[in-house]
Amino acid sequence: PKGLMWFRRDLRVDDNAALWRALRTCREVVCVFVFDKAILDSLPRADRRVEFIRESLVELDAELRALGGGLIVRHALAEDEIPELAHALDVQAVFANRDDEPAAIARDAKVFGALANAGITFHTAKDQVVFERDEVLTKVGQPYTVFTPYKRAWLAKLDDFFLKPYPSRGYAESLIAPPARYDAPVPALQDIGFEATNLSTLEIPTGAQGGATLFEDFFDRIDRYDAARNFPAVRGPSYLSVHLRFGTVSIRQLASVAHQLSLQGNAGAATWLSELIWRDFYFQILAHNPHLAEGKSFRPEYDKIIWHHGKHADMLFDAWCQGRTGYPLIDAAMAQINQSGYMHNRLRMVVASFLCKDLGLDWRRGEAYFALHLNDFELSSNNGGWQWASSSGCDAQPYFRIFNPVTQSERFDPEGKFIRRYLPQLASLSNKVIHAPWTASPVELEAAGLTLGEQYPKPIVDHAEARDRTLQRYGVVRKVA
Ligand code: FAD
């Protein structure tokens, strides 16, 4: 039979479950990627993720061509385009890797229906995660909502079978080149209505080769991950999240290396594997709780909270977005996301807590801002992270635990290196006051050439007062619970 491989969030040839299955089952396989108007139309015209995808497709297309195939790239509504293309190419089956975001499930259901009407089958495979949906359940068959027992069960279930690579490349003889009328180079960004971003100046490597380079680099320091991962000024984490997001690395390969090292007693690798398990954890939470995609709190009683709203709240929100809160660690973190689309995990936790527990703003505003700006934006992890910080999520931070943005700064950026990188106007403050410039003496401020309220804002809230307001605001939860 003839098959169509539909690439989505799995932009690689190696160890790709659906591609492997297509190549094994079909004598001829054509490959396609659709820039889906249903997703793209709502994005700003300069979006690093669109550029990341585009650059990764150029590499994927070249790789497929070298193997005798090639990539058809369309800019259309995927739910219409895939059935039309399958029909025009006269294929008997379409293959794709599963995506459990509610919008993707709805899209795939439409595609499934349209294909079925035309007598074409639609096969999906697990590829994004090690364990999905109902694969890891409690003894009584319920989904886990607490991480630690989930992790224990995840590790207990793990064996070689689940990490075995799918050797797609070994079956490449089934790949066929796109027919002449669909055979065109990957469109330029402008051709799909987008502008270039600063992705290349940021030197964020794209494609499967970029993912492999980052992993090699991380592999050399994985044993230090444990010690380094909480310090944003240090190259501690892997920076692989955007590659996991778009499937330019294989989760099985990463988990397999981390697992092997961890069995050999490598503490850094064990901690890193835990982070990969958090990723699976949030995926299955979303799969079992699709209403999370509609802005609902995981714990319904938290939807009773009345957030600060109105003009003053809008002003606070703008200051948070633009990194003008007067708290240097918060502002440096927001500069990092605004300039690069990345934010260090520790900082994501701190700025998220600051938004809902210092500014009293609805976490959904922050969630939406991250969704727009993060290169690695992932509905399940982003929602999980925000609901963790706002205490409304599963296995979340208790509501009365409130990060102090100054002590977090003193602990995790003790020399203010990260702050100085993003807020050069504070560079000459001492290590002691850089975390809270309003505590500097007039002499020190003058020596640093700094007037608060001019080159750098005064704090927009008082943390101690905000803390009291938050405890009151969250009182409604206590009453209900
Ligand atoms: P590393 O430390 O190298 O971790 C390796 C991988 O493990 C990551 O790439 C990621 O896939 C996974 N991982 C690590 N921490 C977590 C976590 N807490 N939850 C789930 N997976 C994790 N991660 C996203 O991928 N997309 C998001 O949209 C996202 N939004 C977040 C929002 C908030 C408020 C918070 C607190 C966290 C969020 N995270 C998100 C999780 C985490 O911050 C990032 O995965 C991590 O910072 C990415 O950098 P890295 O690849 O260098 O991480």
DSSP string, 389-422: HTT-STTPPPTT----HHHHHHHHSTT-HHHHHH
pLDDT at 241: 98
Predicted pLDDT of residue 173? 97
Same-domain pairing of 453 and 343? yes
pLDDT of residue 478: 77
Q: What pLDDT is attached to residue 480?
A: 53
**Would you state the pLDDT for residue 232?**
98
- Local confidence band at 479 (pLDDT 50, 70, 90 cut-offs): low
Indicate the top mutation candidate among 254, 279, 394 to test ligand 1's pocket, ranked by most ligand atoms within 8 A of CB: 279
Residue 115 has pLDDT above 90, yes or no: yes
Considering the domain architecture, whether residues 110 and 136 belong to the same structural domain is answered as: no
The answer to whether residue 67 scores a pLDDT higher than 90 is yes
Angstrom distance (rounded) from CA 119 to CA 121: 7
Length of the chain: 481
One domain, residues 44 and 101: yes
Distance 47 CA to ligand 1 centre (A): 20
Give the position of tokens 């704090």. 459
- Nearest ligand 1 atom to alpha carbon 382: 30
pLDDT at residue 262, as a whole number = 98
Task: For residues 335 and 419, give the distance between their C-alpha atoms in angstroms, rounded to a whole number.
Answer: 10
Do both 323 and 277 map to the same domain?
no
- Output the residue whose Cα is nearest ligand 1's atom 9: 241
**Residues 417, 454 within the same domain:** yes
Same domain as 327, residue 438: yes
On whether both 95 and 7 belong to a single domain, the answer is yes
* Domain's final residue, options 257, 288, 319: 288
Report the pLDDT averaged over residues 387-416. Answer: 96
> What pairs with residue 46 in β-bridges?
195
| DSSP annotation of 198 | S
- What average pLDDT does this structure show over 70-97? 98
Question: How close is the Cα of 241 to the center of ligand 1, in Å?
Answer: 6
Predicted confidence (pLDDT) per residue in 31-55, tens digit: 999 999 999 999 999 999 999 999 9
- Looking at residue 357, the DSSP 8-state letter turns out to be I
Judge contact between 56 and 30, C-beta under 8 A.
no
Give the CATH number, domain containing residue 351. Answer: 1.10.579.10
pLDDT digits (tens, 9 = 90+) for 361-384: 999 999 999 999 999 999 999 999
Buried b (16+ CB within 10 A) or exposed e, 109-137: eebbebbeeeebbbebbbbbbbbbeeebb
**In the β-sheet with 2-7, what is the strand arrangement from edge to edge?**
71-76, 28-36, 2-7, 93-97, 121-125
Same domain, 253 and 385: no
What's the CA gap between 213 and 211, in Å, rounded? 5
State both tokens at 214.
């980052």
DSSP per-residue string spanning 293-354: GGT--SSGGGGG-----SHHHHHHHHHHHHT-SS-HHHHHHHHHHHHHS---HHHHHHHHHI
In a domain, 187, yes or no: no
pLDDT tens for each residue of 95-109: 999 999 999 999 999
- What tokens appear for 373 in the block? 């700006």
CA distances, 77 to each of 34, 36, 40, 238, 361 (Å): 8, 5, 10, 34, 35
Q: Which residues are catalytic?
A: 275, 278, 307, 345, 363, 386
Across the range 210-227, mean pLDDT stands at: 97
Q: What is the mean pLDDT of residues 221-247?
A: 98
Q: Are residues 338 and 248 in the same domain?
A: no
On whether residue 180 sits in a domain, the answer given is: no
Flag whether 311 is in a domain.
yes
Q: What is the pLDDT of residues 288-304, one digit of tens each?
A: 999 999 999 999 999 99
Q: Which residue range is the domain that position 269 belongs to?
A: 129-165+208-288
Q: Check whether residue 393 and residue 251 sit in a common domain.
A: no
pLDDT above 70 (res 251): yes
Pocket of ligand 1 (CB under 6 A): 229, 237-241, 244, 275-276, 278-279, 282, 345, 348-349, 352, 370, 374, 376-378, 381-382, 384-386, 389
Asked whether residue 384 is assigned to any structural domain, the reply reads yes
pTM: 0.98
Percentage of residues in the chain having pLDDT higher than 90: 99
DSSP 233-250: TS--S---HHHHHHTSS-
Question: For residues 157 and 143, what is the distance between their CA atoms, to the nearest angstrom?
Answer: 15
Check whether residue 27 and residue 157 sit in a common domain: no
Number of structural domains found in the chain:
3
* Number of Cβ atoms within 10 Å of the Cβ of 316: 19
Say whether the ipTM exceeds 0.90: yes
The DSSP secondary structure of 274-304, one letter per residue, reads HHHHHHHHHHHHHHH-GGGGGT--SSGGGGG
Segment 410-427 shows an average pLDDT of 98
Residue 86 lies in a domain: yes
Instruction: Verify that 365 and 276 share a domain, yes or no.
Output: no
- Average confidence (pLDDT) over 178-190: 97
Write the CATH number for 13.
3.40.50.620
> Closest residue (by CA) to atom 29 of ligand 1?
382
